[in-house]
Structure 1
Amino acid sequence: MIDHLLLLPRLRIQNANAISSPMTWGFPAMSAFVCVQQVLERNLPDDIKLVFNEIGVVCHHIEPQVIEGGFIKAFHLTRNPVDKSGNTAAIVEEGRTHLEVSLLIGVESEGEALGSPERRREIAQRLFEQVQGMRIAGGSVMPSLDTHRRHRPELISFDVKEEERAKQWQRLKRRLLPGFALVLRDDLLAEHTSTLRAQDENATTLDAWLDLSRLNHECRVEQVEDEQTGAVKQRVQWGVRRPYPGWLVPIPVGYGAISELYPPGEVANARDPEVPFQFVESLYSLGEWVSPHRFKKPDDLMWFVENDLDRGIYRLQNDYAKTQQD
């Protein structure tokens, strides 16, 4: 249960990375925002003693930098300067998008007195100013267009009473509208895998993931009666098959090891030769975009790190599906 929540509202991000994994594009990977939380925590001023445990992201606006031609979309690419020989440099495809997001960070006090409203406002404002100079998902944080300062950062300390806590969360949810938050739906992926295996025992989780990641058009044949002659005839209708309600999307959720863990410095050209190194590949799951007004508690939209070092799994988790089952 979250006792303190830091709200950094309406951050305008320009040219964020829209290629979230080798197989998905659009909204940046949630791991990019977890990195923001970690960098912000590591650079806390000495007089602010807080621990950041989890992060939630509400997207208010997204503008992928793409051009459309029929059913095909292509990224806007930059023309780089010529190389040292004077020839045209190769184009490296980079996907970019403009975003407006609000970040919610679960905060734990580590000796910091958060009982004073003045102290909480001071901390929220200082951290909001600090994040203005950071890179988020590879993009630059732009100055706010909120000249009337309607969207202010806030550090909320939830009341111990459940009734007051619910009222605080209701007020906060209204500040997050309009927008959508990404949550994890491992449960739907597992359920759909079981459904496909009942039809075909060779079906895999990848089949279920691909089936839920695309629009499946199917033909339905109906028996209808002609109003004039009374004869029964067949009518064909095409529709989109949606196994589950909601706005479901394929998402990367972390990395899985494909090699042993090498000691520091053993692998040449590693980014940091002072830490252990391991080759990994992306892990995928299913996500759902949910409006903030549907969340029962702040924990529902929060993402946190849950690694399994023995199995070489480094991934993110979200507890929204557990709340739905309660």
Structure 2
Amino acid sequence: MKAAPYFAEIAEGPEDGRTFWLTTADEVRLRAGLWHGNGPRGTVILLPGRTEYIEKYGRIARDLAASGYATLTFDCRGQGLADRLLADPMAGHVQDFAEYQRDLDALLTAADAQGLPEPRYLLSHSMGGCIALRGLMRGIKVQAAAFSAPMWGISIAAWMRPFASVFSTMSVWFNQAHRYAPGTGGKTYLAEAEFAGNILTKDSETWDYMKRQALTHPELTLGGPSMGWLHAALMECHALSMMPSPPVAAYCALGTSERVVDTGPVHLRMAAWPRGRLDLIPGSEHEVMMEVPVTRSRFIASAVALFEANR
């Protein structure tokens, strides 16, 4: 597989980190990232959230390597250095969330091609949790799944909820799916926001780490979602909500200060997941894996315990 650019200086991951290009079944080019670390105990397939990219998870890969796990992740379509799908590269866009399953399939094929150690596990954040849940429901072969603030529902202002689905559907019908969703635009949140009052983390050092990445390599960043993405996300979250939880052991962490995803569907899903456990973390914002050290350690320790119990 052909090597791709990798910005090790901002990732701060294990020293053996490397990236390479993947091509999906529908001919979209993705960038995959791999850290072997001390990986004889298995491989973690890490699915990032919307706007995210490989380098953001360098420190998480370092933590997983310390526990004996290799980490394989990617820039999914429309973000990072993967193919952008609109003329405006800052607009996050897909027409259907099934497209992300093609990305996941390409990543799993790469895990086999690279001979990465088994067993395999899923670790996902936000939008990645939506992609992971669909993958589990399709029957992808992993032993267990850990979720950080999964996007199983879209957080929308109460007054907008009755209209969001209608507006997004109409945008698709009238060829306006490329336009930004209301209240969003082409600027990336990390580059514009200040630490005080941010909706991602209460840890200033980790905030600086993420902001430094966005400012040093703005080509990795992404702005708001398109109306097409919003429509596809609403449809996918609704479809998933109608399906039973998969027969896979799961751990899900959710901050009590969560303001990015809709928390209701997370509580409903985990309450009905036979082999699932919901961990409510007091005071945590959206980025559980990028929170204060005690929260990060709690999440990694819980995820690793789940993996070890499901070998």
TM-score, reference length from structure 1: 0.25
Q: Which has the higher contact order (CA 8 A, sep 6+)?
A: 1
Higher strand content, 1 or 2:
1
Larger radius of gyration: 1
Task: Considering fraction of residues, name the structure with more helix.
Answer: 2
